[in-house]
RNA sequence: GCGCCCAUCGUCUAGCGGUCCAGGACGUCGCCCUUUCACGGCGAAAACACGGGUUCGAGUCCCGUUGGGCGCGCCA
């Protein structure tokens, strides 16, 4: 199994799983699936200050909701600290790393001076060739990599192509902090190696890191995984996705009523393409996904297109599945006090009955739910003078033909029938004349209007009917 | 400031030297369907950032300019 592809998704649990991370996970997942390999999940929690359990939970939950299953146990980087330290010391013993006693203050000054002088703010290597015997008292050293100072570090990236850095532009990075904990650079390299990762697919904000990590691989004489740095996702204004244009957690997308499959489809098309094809089933995605067709320019996130795509998925979904999805998503949707908090079997059945028409005019589960509001509205609706005045409008002539048929069909009195229709019009925010068309369609069996009989059924319930009749002249 | 990456319609993108007076999708606009709202159908406007090369021929290759982005921590 030496040839098995192993990818990994390695988020740091300092916040929620954002959309860019979700896409990175998706690409890793697709690539692994395509190759019949595995995607591992590693939580990069070496920053103890900022890592939280809540963030870890949110990440796992987000991935699960998106349908991206990782393989094997979740690996927590922090638990591997002793292994990282061991490697740092091994490097030290081999003369590939050294103790550096420069204080944080000293480093700040160094960087400030470099910037002022128009040079890159890099560590100047002042302890690189000094003997530890010169160490100042009371300063705990860090361990730095003795990186090559000449030549270049060349990365063959699957997405970015050949990228080269002059080694003089790369400084001696810290491997082990003065408190003995590993830095991210070291931990990533050691973990990816130990986990047998064959392909690293991550955001291109890591591109420069790749060069530095490459130097660690070389010092260790380890084989480099294949790298693929994918472009970042930007906000609508082209700038990096940040809080101000709602750098949203993946759970926010659930709360907005997007279907996981639709979001996956939208995300995979952000930066990757397969000719003109827009829609992919999960199977097709796995089948056709490749690194070769990942673009190199950043993509802007477009909610309108996501919404459109979600609408397609909604309409293509089976009614039963939508009811199930709605029931599952219900608690995540924003509250509405005119809606039940949970749906009982009867309400679900009602939803199912109304679904064919409902899903035609919704783009998200949220719209679907709001569109179904009439099913759960309190009965009877209040009738007012305004409704009565609408009744005087031009639509009446048409309705005059239809009402008797409805009355006949429902076994209602003419007056009750008219009240019901009037109520329906008001509730659907329609002029009375506009009711004629859906009503006719419903009566003739061409039910283009959603659940119109469902509405009538609700409105026409015995008790409501009685009260409605009381209100009629 | 230094390093690296990027650059086709408003947006996502196809395009891997000729088949591109540039194709698809979202959005926009118009028409049709429908006496509602949607859905659906048809159609339109809309792009190769700029300047130099290379070549018989460049959206496609090279260089530069401009404009974006990322990185430059004892954060990840």
Strand B close to A164 by CB, under 7 A: yes
Strand B close to A118 by CB, under 7 A: yes
Q: Which nucleotides of B are covered by protein (CB under 7 A)?
A: 1-8, 10-15, 23-27, 34-40, 68-76
Q: Which nucleotide is nearest to A163 (CA to C1')?
A: B4
- Give the pLDDT score at A467: 39
Strand B close to A62 by CB, under 7 A: no
Q: Which nucleotide is nearest to A435 (CA to C1')?
A: B36
- A7-37 burial, b at 16+ Cβ within 10 Å, e below that, comes to bbbbbbbebbbbbbbbbbbbbbbbbbbbbeb
Question: Which residues does residue A174 pair with via DSSP β-bridges, in sequence order?
Answer: A144
From the C1' of B11, which residue's alpha carbon is nearest? A302
ipTM of predicted complex: 0.94
Through-space separation of residue A247 CA and nucleotide B41 C1' in angstroms:
38
State residue A269 phi and psi, 5-degree precision.
-85, 0
Q: Name the residues in A331-350 having a C-beta closer than 7 Å to nucleic acid strand B.
A: none
Strand B close to A160 by CB, under 7 A: yes
From the C1' of B12, which residue's alpha carbon is nearest? A270
Burial class (CB in 10 A: 0-12, 13-18, 19+), A338: exposed
Number of neighbouring beta carbons within 10 Å of residue A329? 21
Q: Name the residues in A389-408 having a C-beta closer than 7 Å to nucleic acid strand B.
A: 395, 397-398
Rounded Cα distance between A391 and A426, Å, is 11
Candidate list A243, A305, A350, A359, residue with the active-site label = A243
Contacts of A448 (CB under 8 A, 6+ apart): A357, A438, A441
Through-space separation of residue A404 CA and nucleotide B71 C1' in angstroms:
75
Binned average pLDDT, 10 residues per bin, chain A of 473 residues: 86 89 97 97 89 93 96 95 96 94 82 75 80 79 93 94 92 93 95 97 94 96 96 80 63 94 96 95 96 94 95 94 94 85 85 80 91 62 36 48 63 66 67 65 46 48 37 34
Any catalytic annotation for residue A243? Answer: yes
Rounded Cα distance between A364 and A315, Å, is 10
Half-sphere exposure of A74 (CA within 13 A, CB side): 17
- Give the pLDDT score at A300: 93
Q: Name the residues in A273-292 having a C-beta closer than 7 Å to nucleic acid strand B.
A: 273, 275-276, 278
Strand B close to A299 by CB, under 7 A: yes
Rounded Cα distance between A340 and A349, Å, is 14
Through-space separation of residue A23 CA and nucleotide B12 C1' in angstroms:
15
Instruction: Determine if the pTM surpasses 0.80.
Output: yes
Strand B close to A371 by CB, under 7 A: no
- Give the pLDDT score at A19: 92
Question: Starting at the edge strand that comes first in sequence, how are the strands of the sheet with A199-203 ordered?
Answer: A75-76, A38-43, A6-9, A199-203, A226-230, A152-157, A161-166
Q: Which nucleotide is nearest to A233 (CA to C1')?
A: B69
Rounded Cα distance between A13 and A272, Å, is 27
Strand B close to A296 by CB, under 7 A: yes
Q: What is the CA radius of gyration of chain A?
A: 31
Through-space separation of residue A297 CA and nucleotide B51 C1' in angstroms:
23
Contacts of A204 (CB under 8 A, 6+ apart): A159, A160, A229, A230, A231, A232
Half-sphere exposure of A147 (CA within 13 A, CB side): 29
For helices A452-459 and A462-471, give the axis angle rounded to 10 degrees: 70
Q: Which nucleotide is nearest to A44 (CA to C1')?
A: B76
Rounded Cα distance between A276 and A27, Å, is 19
């Amino acid at each position: 199994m030496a040839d098995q592809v192993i990818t990994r998704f390695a988020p740091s649990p300092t916040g929620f799983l954002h959309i860019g991370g979700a896409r990175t996970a998706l690409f890793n997942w697709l690539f692994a699936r395509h190759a019949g390999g595995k995607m591992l999940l590693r939580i990069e929690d070496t920053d103890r200050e900022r890592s939280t359990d809540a963030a870890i939970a949110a990440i796992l939950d987000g991935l699960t909701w998106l349908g991206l299953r990782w393989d094997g146990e979740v690996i927590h980087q922090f638990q591997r600290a002793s292994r990282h330290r061991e490697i740092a010391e091994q490097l030290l013993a081999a003369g590939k790393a050294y103790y550096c006693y420069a204080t944080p203050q000293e480093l700040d000054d160094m960087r400030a001076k470099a910037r002022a002088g128009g040079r890159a703010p890099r560590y100047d290597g002042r302890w690189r060739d000094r003997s530890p015997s010169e160490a100042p008292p009371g300063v705990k050293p860090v361990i730095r990599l003795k990186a090559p100072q000449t030549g270049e570090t060349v990365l063959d990236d699957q997405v970015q192509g050949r990228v080269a850095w002059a080694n003089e532009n790369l400084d001696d990075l810290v491997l082990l902090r003065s408190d003995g904990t590993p830095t991210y650079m070291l931990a990533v390299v050691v973990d990816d190696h130990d986990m047998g990762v064959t392909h690293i697919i991550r955001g291109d904000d890591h591109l420069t890191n790749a060069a530095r990590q490459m130097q660690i691989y070389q010092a260790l004489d380890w084989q480099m995984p294949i790298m693929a740095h994918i472009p970042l996702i930007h906000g609508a204004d082209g700038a990096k996705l940040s809080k101000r244009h709602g750098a949203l957690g993946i759970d926010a997308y659930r709360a907005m009523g997007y279907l996981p499959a639709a979001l996956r489809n939208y995300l995979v098309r952000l930066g990757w393409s397969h000719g003109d094809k827009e829609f992919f089933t999960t199977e097709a995605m796995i089948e056709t996904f490749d690194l070769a067709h990942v673009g190199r320019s950043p993509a802007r996130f477009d909610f309108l297109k996501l919404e459109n795509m979600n609408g397609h998925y909604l309409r293509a979904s089976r009614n039963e599945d939508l009811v199930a999805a709605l029931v599952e998503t219900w608690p995540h949707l924003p509250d509405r006090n005119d809606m039940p908090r949970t749906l009982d079997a009867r309400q679900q059945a009602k939803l199912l009955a109304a679904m064919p028409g409902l899903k035609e005019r919704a783009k998200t589960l949220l719209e679907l739910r709001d569109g179904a509001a009439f099913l759960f509205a309190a009965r009877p609706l209040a009738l007012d003078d305004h409704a009565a005045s609408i009744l005087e409008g031009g639509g009446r002539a048409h309705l005059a033909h239809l009402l008797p048929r409805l009355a006949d069909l429902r076994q209602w009195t003419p007056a009750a029938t008219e009240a019901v229709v009037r109520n329906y019009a008001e509730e659907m925010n329609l002029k009375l004349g506009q009711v004629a068309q859906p009503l006719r369609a419903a009566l003739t069996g061409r039910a283009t209007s959603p659940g119109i009989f469902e509405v009538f059924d609700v409105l026409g319930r015995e008790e409501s009917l009685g009260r409605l009749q009381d209100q009629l002249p």
